Chains A and B, each alone.
Chain A
Amino acid sequence: MTVTTEQDQQIASQSRSARLSRRKIFAAIEGYLYLAPTLIVLAIFVFIPIVASFQLSLTRAAPFGNRSIDVGLENYMRLLTDPVQLQTIRISLLFTLGTVIPGIVVAVTLGILLALPLRRFSWLHRLLIFVPIVISSAVTGVLFRWIFHPVVGYINYVLSLIGINGPNWLSDADWALIAVMLAVIWQQLGFNVIIALAGLQNIDSTYYEAAKVDGANLWYRIRHITLPLMSPTLFFLFIINTINSLQVFGEIDVLTQGGPGNATSTMLYSIYDFAFRGTPQRGIASAQSFLLFLLILLLSIVQFRISSRRVHYQ
Chain B
Amino acid sequence: MSTSLPVDKANKAAIIGQQKESPIDLRSEIIVQIILFTIGLVVSFPIILAIFTSFKEPQDITSYPPSLLPSERIRVDIPGYDTPLMLFNVTFEDGTQRQLARVEQVGRNYLMVDPDDPETIITVENAQLQNVTRINFTFENYVTAWTSQPFARYFMNSVIQTGVIVAFQLFFSILAAYAFSILRFPGRDLMFYLILGSLMVPFQLTFIPNFLFVSQLGLANTYAGLTIPFLASAFGVFLLRQFFMTLPKELHDAAMIDGAGNWMFLWRVVVPLSRGAISAFAIFAFLSAWSQYLWPLVITNEQSMRTIQIGIRFFLFDQERGADWGGIMATAVIALLPTLLIFLVAQRQLVRGIAMTGLKG
Question: Which residues of A are interface residues toward B (Cβ below 8 A)?
Answer: 24, 27-28, 30-32, 34-35, 37-42, 44-50, 52-53, 56, 110, 113-139, 142-147, 149, 151-152, 154, 157, 186, 189, 191, 194-195, 197-199, 201-202, 205, 232-233, 235-236, 239-240, 243, 247, 249-250, 253-254, 268, 271-272, 275-276, 282, 285-286, 289-290, 292-293, 296, 313
Contacts and interface: CB of A to CB of B under 8 A. Distances in A.
B293 interface: yes
Interface of B: 1, 3, 5-7, 9-11, 14-24, 29, 32-33, 35-37, 39-41, 43-47, 49-50, 53, 61-66, 171-173, 175-176, 178-180, 183-188, 191, 194-195, 198, 201-206, 208-213, 228-234, 237, 262, 287, 290-291, 293-294, 297-298, 309-310, 312-313, 316, 325, 328-329, 331-332, 335-336, 339-340, 342-344, 347, 350-351, 354-356, 358, 360
B6 A201 contact: no
A239 B191 CA distance: 25
A152 B61 contact: yes
B195 to A, nearest CB: 6
Given A116-B24, A142-B332, A268-B204, A129 B43 contact: yes
Contacts of B210: 45, 49
List of 9 A-B pairs having minimum Cβ-Cβ separation, nearest first: A128-B40, A232-B6, A136-B291, A31-B185, A41-B232, A34-B179, A49-B206, A52-B209, A198-B355
Contact of A194 (B15, B41, B175, B202): B15
B44 A128 contact: yes
| Overall SS of chain B's interface | helix
B136 to A, nearest CB: 19
Nearest to A304: B3
Contacts of B22: 117
Nearest to A242: B1
13 contacts: A31-B179, A37-B176, A39-B191, A41-B228, A116-B32, A127-B344, A131-B47, A147-B46, A151-B64, A236-B5, A253-B297, A275-B211, A292-B204
A53 to B, nearest CB: 5
A45 B209 CA distance: 9
A138 B293 contact: yes
B15 A152 contact: no
Given A38-B237, A41-B231, 11 more contacts: A32-B179, A38-B234, A50-B201, A114-B36, A115-B14, A122-B17, A132-B43, A194-B351, A233-B7, A250-B309, A289-B204
A295 to B, nearest CB: 10
A254 B17 CA distance: 35
A152 B356 CA distance: 42
A154 B66 contact: yes
A136 B333 CA distance: 11
B37 A125 contact: yes
A119 B35 CA distance: 15
B6 A236 contact: yes
Contacts of A132: 43, 47
B203 to A, nearest CB: 7
B313 A138 contact: yes
A285 to B, nearest CB: 6
B208 A254 contact: no
Contact of A202 (B7, B35, B202, B206): B7
A253 to B, nearest CB: 7
Given A38-B195, A194-B351, A134 B340 contact: yes
Contacts of A27: 183-185
A296 B9 contact: no
| Overall SS of chain A's interface | helix
Contact of B298 (A32, A47, A191, A276): A276
Contact of B343 (A114, A131, A232): A131
A294 B259 CA distance: 51
Given A117-B23, A133-B350, A275-B208, A34 B178 contact: yes
B208 A286 contact: yes
Given A122-B19, A134-B287, A139-B309, A46 B355 contact: no
A130 B347 contact: yes
Contacts of A282: 208, 212
Nearest to A122: B17
B293 A247 contact: no
A206 B297 CA distance: 52
Contact of B47 (A41, A135, A249): A135
A226 to B, nearest CB: 14
Contacts of B287: 133-134
B173 to A, nearest CB: 7
Contact of A37 (B16, B21, B172): B172
B6 A199 contact: yes
Contacts of B316: 142, 145, 254
Contacts of A28: 185-187
Contacts of B335: 136, 138-139
B313 A254 contact: yes
A157 B21 CA distance: 42
A288 to B, nearest CB: 9
A32 B185 contact: yes
A131 B310 CA distance: 22
A236 B209 contact: no
A186 B178 contact: no
A199 B37 contact: no
A189 B336 contact: no
A199 B7 contact: yes
B38 to A, nearest CB: 10
